[in-house]
Structure 1
C-alpha cells in the first residue's frame, strides 16, 4: 500500500486532538457501532484532565487506498524532547493555527524544528467559525513566522485550508460547502511526498528508535520509522549506540504497526512504515536497530539541553510514610532513571548525600507532570524550588532567556509590563492591540524571573490574562532578581489545627489550611502579610471558664483557605523551603523543621 507520514503541530488548545478525532471517524477507522471517546489520542489521565498532549502518539488511517500515518505531537515546549525525535519519522507537517489567536509560542518552537529538517508544511486555519476569527490576519502571521524562522522558498509556498475541527469540516475556501474533511485528506495526499525510504526496501534493515515503551506482556519495545530493508518476526538484529558501539544482539519477538488507535501484530515491516519492535533488553531511544552486516549508526537528531533543575528527595517530615508505599531513596532513584531512559529531555544526577537526586528538564510544567505521575503511583517525595541552569559561554556566565507572549485586558497591561521589566529584568519587545479590548505584549524575560510569576500574573489580571512562554536564547547574567516578597506563617506545634486559632491568625495573612487538619512543627500553614516569616500556634484553643458568657461570644467563621496545586506550590516556595508530595496531600514546609536550626542556617546563609 502507498504511504504518507505526517505530524500534526499546534499550540495548546488550538484543536489538534479534536481534529484527529474527526480524521479517524471520517476515514472509516471506527466500526459503525463502535463506542468512541472525545480526544481519543489523549489516552493519559493527566492529558485528559489538563487538556494538553504530553506524549507523542501515532495513529493510522486509510484514504483512497493510501495509508496515512499521523503523529500527534505535544503542544507545549516543556515536552519538546518528544517533538525533536518524532519529527524525524515524518515527511510532512500539518500546522494547525487558531484563526483568532494566530501562531503562538509553542507553535513557533515545533515549527522551527520542522523547518530545520526541511519538512514542507500544510497550514490549517482552525476554528474559522468562531466570532473572533480573523483567518487572513492569522495566515499573514504564519507567513511572517516562517520567514523569520528561515524557511526556504519551497516551504514558504505552502498550501492552506480553512477548517473547524469540532465541526468536522475543511475547505480550500472560506465560503466552501463545509461538509467533511475530504479536502484535507486530498491535500495531504497531493502535498506530502511518499517516504523516500520506499526505494531502499532491498537494502539491509535499519531503523532509528524514537520512542521507548514497556509492555507488560512483551517487555521493552521501541518505535521508529524503518529507514531501509524489510524485517520479519524471528530475525536477528543488533543495536548500535549513537557512536556506533554495539550494545546487544537480539531476536525480534514481535512487530507491531499502527492501525487506527490500536497496534496490530504484523509479520513483515518494510522501509517507510512506522512500526514498533520487541525483543531487545538494552537498546534505547536514539539507538539504531539494524542488520548484523551494518556497523554505522544512523544520525540521531540532537536534543536541546535542559534549562531548569529540581531536587527530588525522600519525604522526611513527621507525617512521612502515612499515605504512600514507595518512600525509600533507592525506589525513587530507580523510578527517575526509568523516566530519563524514555524521556531524553530529562537528566538525573545523584547528590553527595545519596538520598536526593537533581532532575534537570525543560520547564516547571514538565517537572510538575513527572511529580504528579509519581505521586499517583504511590511515591512520597520532597521537592525543592526550581533552579535555573547557567552556562559559561566565552568565559561569561549566561542564563536562559524566554520569550513571553501575553494577551491581557487593556486596563491591566501597565501593571504586567511594570512587573516584567522592572522587577524581573525583562525587555519589552512589542505591544499592540489584539482587538476586543485586549492588548498583546511580547517580552524577553530571564527564566529566573518567571519562576513563581504565574500566580502573581493571575492576581494582577483578575484571572483574565493568558501567558505563554518559550525558550528564546542564552543571555549574559542579568543580576539578582527579587524572589517572593511575602513571608510565611510557620507552625510551631504538632497536632490537629483548631478553628479558633486559625480565626485569630487570619489578621496575620492568608491561610493554606483549614480546621481539623494535621500539622507539624516547621510546616507552612499560610502567607504572612509582611515580608518576614512568623512562627504561630494553629493548635491554641479558646480558654474556657466556669462563668457563663452573656452575648460576648463571637461565632468562628473561617475564610476559605487557599489550596495550592502542585505546580503553584513548587513555584511558590523559597530556597529554604520544600514541597512535601504524597498520594493524598501537598504540603509546604521549611527545609529545617526545628526553629533553632532555621536560625542557625539563616546566620550561615
Structure 2
C-alpha cells in the first residue's frame, strides 16, 4: 500500500484540529451513527478546556487505497520543542493560515523548521467564510514569508487551497464545494511518497506514548530497512552508547488508534513496544551493524521557575503527593518526554529549578501535576541570562499585536514602558497591526494589562528571536498587595470594611493563613490586614446598618495569570483544589528582617 506522511502546522486558533476532524470524517474513520463531537484529536482535558493543542498526535486514514499518516501539531510557540521533532516523521506539511489574520509569528517559526527539513508544503487558507477576510492578500503574504525564509524554487511553487474547515469544504479556488475531496486529492498529488532506502534498519524515536499495560512506547518513522516483531536490535543513544534490545510488539497507526503488525517497512510510522530506558532522539538500528541518525536538536529553554514542596500551614490537606521525593520523581519523568524542559537540583533538597520555553509551557506542567494530585509551591518566572563576551545578555522576542485603531496608542505605550521597540505599524482594515522587539522579561504580566487596557480586543503573539544585551530594569507591578495577618476564616464584616483598600482575591468564608496574599492594594506598597475579625455582637441593634454589607465578587485568576502577577518575594501554592498566592516568607517580622538585610546589602 502506498503511504503519505503529512504534518499540519499553523498558528494557534487557525483551525488545525478542525481540519483533522474533517479528514477523519471524510475518510469514514467513524461509523455513520457514531457520536464523535468536535476537536476529536484534542483528547486531553487541559487541551479541551483551553482550546489549544499541547501534545502532537498521530492518526492514519485511508483514501483511494493510499494510507495517509496525519500528524496534528501544537500551534503555540511554547510547545515548539514538540513540533520540531515530529516534523522529522513527515514528508510534506499543510500550512494552515487564517484568511483574515494571515501568517503569524508562530507560522513563521514552524514553517522555517519544515523548509529546513526539505518538506513539501501545501498552503491552505482557512476561514474564507469570515466577514472582511482577504484571501488574496494573505496568499501574497504567505509567498513573501516563504521567500524571506529562503525557500527553494520548488518550495516557492506551492499549491494553494481555500475553504472553511467549520463548513467542511476546501477547493483549489474560492468556489465552495460539497466536501474536502479536492484537498485530499491534492495531498496525494503533491506530497511525495516516503523515500525508501534499502539497507539495515534505522528508526529515530521522535515521540513517546505510555500505556499502563505495555509501559513506555517508542514512536518514529522507519527511514531505512524494515523492523519486525521479536527482532534483535541495537539502541544507539544520543551520547553514542549502544544497548542491545528486542522488539516485543509492533503497531502501526490506523484511524485514531493502533493496529498490531508483524513487520513495518521503510517509510511508515510505527510504535515499538519492549525497549528499556530509551529517550527521544535515540536511533533503533540493526543489531549487527548499528548506524545512528543525526541527533535531534531542540531550541534552548528561555525561562526558569523554582518548584518546591508546599510548606504552607495548609500543607497536605488536598494532595496525595506532597514530599520532595514525589516532586523530584514526577519532574524527572516529565523530562523524558518533554524535550524542551530541563530540571536542576538546588542547594535545598526541597526545591528544584525547572527550565522551560515560556509561561504557558511551565503553566501546563504545573496544571497537569496539580490534576494528578500533587501539592507544590512555584516561584515567579525568571528569564535565563547568558554572559556573552563578558557582557550580560537576555532573550528577546518578536511581539505581534493586532488591535482596533483606537487602542493602538495604549498598546504602544504599554510595550515601550517595558523596553519594547516598535518595528512595524500597518493597517489591516479597521485593525492596527503592530510589531515590536521586546526582552522576554517585558512579556511577563503584559497579556493581562494589555487586555485590560484594550477592552479585551488585543490579539497578541510572540516568538523567541535571539539573545541580545541586557536592557536594564523593567518596571514590575504598580500596586502592592494586602496580606492576611492571621490564620482563620474570612468574614463578610472585615472584608466589607477593607474593600476601599483594594480588590479581593477571596470571598467571605474562605480559610486563609498569615502571609497569604488576599487582595491587590490600590496603592504601591504592601499592607498587612485582618480579614478574619468577626463583628462584636451587642444587645443593641443599630437600626438600618446591620444588613448593608455589600461585597464585590472576588477576582478569579488562572494559574498563568498568578505566575505573571507575583513578584520576586512571592510564590504560588498549588494544590489539586486551590491556587493561592502568598509571600515566600510567611511571618511578618521575618519579612521585615529580610527586607532590612536586602536594603543594607544594596547600600553596602
User: Same fold by TM (over 0.5)?
Assistant: yes
Q: Does 1:281 align with 2:276?
A: yes
Partner of 1:410: 405
Partner of 1:563: 556
Q: Does 1:148 align with 2:148?
A: yes
**Uncovered stretches (5+) of structure 1, i.e. residues with no partner:** none
Q: Matches of residues 9-88 of structure 1 in structure 2 within 5 Å?
A: 9-88=9-88
Q: Does 1:237 align with 2:230?
A: no
2-structure distance, mates of 1:577, 1:183: 56
- Using the TM superposition, give the Cα deviation of residue 552 of structure 1 relative to its aligned residue in structure 2, in angstroms: 4.3
- Using the TM superposition, give the Cα deviation of residue 292 of structure 1 relative to its aligned residue in structure 2, in angstroms: 0.8
Partner of 1:301: 296
- Using the TM superposition, give the Cα deviation of residue 237 of structure 1 relative to its aligned residue in structure 2, in angstroms: 1.1
* Partner residue of 1:525 out of 518, 523, 541: 518
Q: Deviations over 1:51-78 (max 9, x none)?
A: 1110011111111121111110110010
- Using the TM superposition, give the Cα deviation of residue 545 of structure 1 relative to its aligned residue in structure 2, in angstroms: 2.5
- Using the TM superposition, give the Cα deviation of residue 223 of structure 1 relative to its aligned residue in structure 2, in angstroms: 0.2
1-structure distance, mates of 2:545, 2:319: 46
1-structure distance, mates of 2:232, 2:288: 11
Aligned-partner SS, 1:327 = coil
Partner of 2:323: 328
Q: Deviations over 1:73-129 (max 9, x none)?
A: 110010011111001111110000010110111111111111111112100000111
TM-score by length of 1: 0.97
Partner of 2:418: 424
The alignment's C-alpha RMSD in Å is 1.1
2-structure distance, mates of 1:548, 1:483: 47
- Using the TM superposition, give the Cα deviation of residue 544 of structure 1 relative to its aligned residue in structure 2, in angstroms: 2.8
Please tell me whether the aligned partners of residues 580 and 589 of structure 1 are also in contact (alpha carbons under 8 angstroms): yes
Aligned-partner SS, 1:225 = strand
- Using the TM superposition, give the Cα deviation of residue 578 of structure 1 relative to its aligned residue in structure 2, in angstroms: 0.5
2-structure distance, mates of 1:186, 1:604: 70
Q: Matches of residues 480-495 of structure 1 in structure 2 within 5 Å?
A: 480-495=473-488
- Using the TM superposition, give the Cα deviation of residue 199 of structure 1 relative to its aligned residue in structure 2, in angstroms: 3.4
Please tell me whether the aligned partners of residues 285 and 291 of structure 2 are also in contact (alpha carbons under 8 angstroms): no
Q: Deviations over 1:519-550 (max 9, x none)?
A: 00000000001110000000122233332323
2-structure distance, mates of 1:289, 1:508: 63
Aligned-partner SS, 2:113 = helix
Q: Matches of residues 112-191 of structure 1 in structure 2 within 5 Å?
A: 112-175=112-175, 177-191=176-190
1-structure distance, mates of 2:591, 2:545: 40
Partner of 2:602: none
Partner of 2:581: 588
2-structure distance, mates of 1:434, 1:490: 45
Please tell me whether the aligned partners of residues 81 and 303 of structure 1 are also in contact (alpha carbons under 8 angstroms): yes
Q: Deviations over 1:5-32 (max 9, x none)?
A: 1100011111111111111111122223
Please tell me whether the aligned partners of residues 326 and 378 of structure 1 are also in contact (alpha carbons under 8 angstroms): yes
2-structure distance, mates of 1:511, 1:158: 54
2-structure distance, mates of 1:32, 1:553: 63
TM-score by length of 2: 0.97
- Using the TM superposition, give the Cα deviation of residue 467 of structure 1 relative to its aligned residue in structure 2, in angstroms: 1.1
Aligned-partner SS, 1:199 = coil
Q: Deviations over 1:393-436 (max 9, x none)?
A: 23322111111111112111111101111x2001101111121x
* Partner residue of 2:434 out of 438, 441, 445: 441
- Using the TM superposition, give the Cα deviation of residue 167 of structure 1 relative to its aligned residue in structure 2, in angstroms: 1.4
**Uncovered stretches (5+) of structure 2, i.e. residues with no partner:** 599-604
Q: Deviations over 1:116-172 (max 9, x none)?
A: 111121000001111121100111111111111121221111110112111111111
2-structure distance, mates of 1:552, 1:5: 72
1-structure distance, mates of 2:230, 2:431: 61
Please tell me whether the aligned partners of residues 252 and 278 of structure 1 are also in contact (alpha carbons under 8 angstroms): yes
Q: Does 1:100 align with 2:100?
A: yes
Please tell me whether the aligned partners of residues 242 and 298 of structure 1 are also in contact (alpha carbons under 8 angstroms): no
